[in-house]
Structure 1
Amino acid sequence: MTNLRTLHFYATPEHDCSYLQDREAKTLFVDPQAIIAKDTYSQLSDLGFRRSGRHIYRPHCNDCQACISVRIPSTEFQPSRSQKRVLSKNSDIKIRVVTPQFNQEYYELYSRYISSRHADGDMYPPSAEQFNSFLVDGDQESCFIEMRGPDNSLMAIAVTDYLENGLSAIYTFYDPDDTRRSLGTFAILAQIRHACHIGLPYVYLGYWVRECRKMSYKIAFRPSELLLDGHWVTIK
């Protein structure tokens, strides 16, 4: 089994940044052939790595440190007034934790979400192959946190990895036509509750970029911790 000392890493050539216009980015990948145990994956997450399908990566840009890893201490989290309103608006949602899988209901929601919210991105157009490679395939312990309305309609799914010390929020997709419920925020709140329920101290939210408005929601959960110069720093 591979550990941090024996892992090999590979850097990509420079490419267009996904977050900031007119910027070039580089990405550092863990050897995709390596077998990554849960403890090693957890250590990598503490160092700012993320997972996408079978790939574990982090930004590795030459002259930019804009991407900052964020995690929420689940047991210390205190919802804001607006987050309490989101919880209240969604008190009728039923939550179920299931094994990652492809089915037509999940895929149709995913396809609608990508087509409505990310038609200008590199995930468009959606496909069943993309769904499987991005959200189902992978060597890590993972789950789908399924959220259904009172009529049993599928509202949202949060794709989540289990770490030794927390949950890693991989991706969330939800009904793009329902703007009242703030389903993206509710999905994070649901993951925080799940972490508390199973006794895990953190929820890792991925990268926050100050200059990217789409990322601003990630530091609306307080307290949060930011990975700065290799150390997790609390912001309240």
Structure 2
Amino acid sequence: MNTQTTPAPQFYLTAPAACPYLPHEMERKVFTHLVGERAPELNDLLTQGGFRRSQNIAYRPACETCRACISVRILVNEFEPRRSMRRVQAANRDLFGYEYPAEPSSEQYTLFRRYLDRRHQKGGMSDMSVLDYAMMVEDTHVHTKVIEYRKRTEGAGLEERPRGELIAVALTDRMGDGLSMVYSYFDPNEQQRSLGTFMILDHIRRARALGLPHVYLGYWVKGSRKMDYKTKFLPQEHLMARGWERYDGGSSD
């Protein structure tokens, strides 16, 4: 009889570093590797427990003096778009999204660089090379897809990789209970489209069509203005000390 057990994941702790969201705070992270046949199952469990994925690493904050980072997931079956969100959907009716295996392209990287150079010049990803980008996309042992959003052109949708200007991209994990938006970016010259909001709305639609109850948005950091958009997709749940708790707050329009 074989009594050998599957090794449990090993967790590690990073050294303190300056927090990218809140001034005068220091961040630490606990992380583990997502590799092998059990990676999809482990990714599901860890994401449900507040972890995020970056390449083959799952991590979550483990800060000593701060608990501002809160995991957020949208309750897909109860979600109804606000009036402003319906306007975003209408403004992007000329776009279509196609899902592909997690494979990078030079076209994606060109858009990615334009996004970083305009929106995140001083961020931790600002110096990513084309090889770094390729690793971000394809270094995955879980069920990951790339969703490309393009402007419609005549005849688009008839080819294996449809024509049309690439305007936004989402890197997304499909889990047992939802879709996790790992990273997304868009054309900074199309600010009037609110493409970040549009991609979240599209993921809600895709999750609902797949019968999945959640869309995971990563961390909301109270006090960080650039994170405020995440709390507009209601109702949602926040991972607190006692588990996932319903959140219906936020302003209406």
Q: Which residue of 1 aligns with 2:72?
A: 70
User: In the TM superposition, what are the counterparts of 1:208-223 in structure 2 within 5 Å?
Assistant: 208-223=220-235
Deviation of the 1:45 alpha carbon: 0.7
5+ residue gaps in structure 1? none
Corresponding position: 1:108 with 2:120: no
| 1:111-150 deviation digits (Å, cap 9, x = unpaired) | 1111111111111123111211222211111111111112
Deviation of the 1:108 alpha carbon: 0.6
Instruction: Tell me whether 209-218 or 121-130 shows the greater mean CA deviation.
Output: 121-130
Change over 3 Å in CA distance of 1:27–1:156 after alignment to 2 = same
Q: Distance in 1 between matches of 2:22 and 2:136?
A: 23
Instruction: State the TM-score, normalized to the length of structure 1.
Output: 0.94
Instruction: Tell me whether 205-214 or 15-24 shows the greater mean CA deviation.
Output: 15-24
Which of 140, 146, 157 is the aligned partner of 2:142?
140
Would you say how many aligned residue pairs link Structure 1 and Structure 2? 235
Deviation of the 1:75 alpha carbon: 1.5
Query: Does the residue aligned with 1:138 lie in a helix, a strand or coil?
Result: coil
Change over 3 Å in CA distance of 1:62–1:35 after alignment to 2 = farther
5+ residue gaps in structure 2? 154-163, 249-253
Instruction: Tell me whether 68-77 or 37-46 shows the greater mean CA deviation.
Output: 37-46
Kindly indicate whether the alpha-carbon contact (under 8 Å) linking 1:148 and 1:156 is maintained by their aligned counterparts in 2: yes
Which of 168, 175, 179 is the aligned partner of 2:180?
168
Deviation of the 1:79 alpha carbon: 0.6
| 1:28-84 deviation digits (Å, cap 9, x = unpaired) | 001466664322211111110000111110000111100000000111111111111
Q: Which residue of 2 aligns with 1:39?
A: 41
User: In the TM superposition, what are the counterparts of 1:194-209 in structure 2 within 5 Å?
Assistant: 194-209=206-221
Q: Which residue of 2 aligns with 1:225?
A: 237
Q: Provide the alpha-carbon RMSD of the alignment.
A: 1.8
Q: Which residue of 2 aligns with 1:120?
A: 122
Q: Which residue of 2 aligns with 1:185?
A: 197
Which of 14, 18, 21 is the aligned partner of 1:19?
21
Q: Which residue of 1 aligns with 2:32?
A: 30
Q: Distance in 1 between matches of 2:48 and 2:37?
A: 18
1:128 alignment partner AA: V
Instruction: State the TM-score, normalized to the length of structure 2.
Output: 0.88
Change over 3 Å in CA distance of 1:2–1:229 after alignment to 2 = farther
Identity across the alignment (%):
39
Query: Does the residue aligned with 1:140 lie in a helix, a strand or coil?
Result: coil
Q: Which residue of 1 aligns with 2:59?
A: 57
Query: Greater CA radius of gyration, 1 or 2?
Result: 2
Q: Distance in 1 between matches of 2:189 and 2:136?
A: 23
Kindly indicate whether the alpha-carbon contact (under 8 Å) linking 2:35 and 2:141 is maintained by their aligned counterparts in 1: no
2:149 alignment partner AA: M
Query: Does the residue aligned with 1:75 lie in a helix, a strand or coil?
Result: helix
Deviation of the 1:199 alpha carbon: 1.1
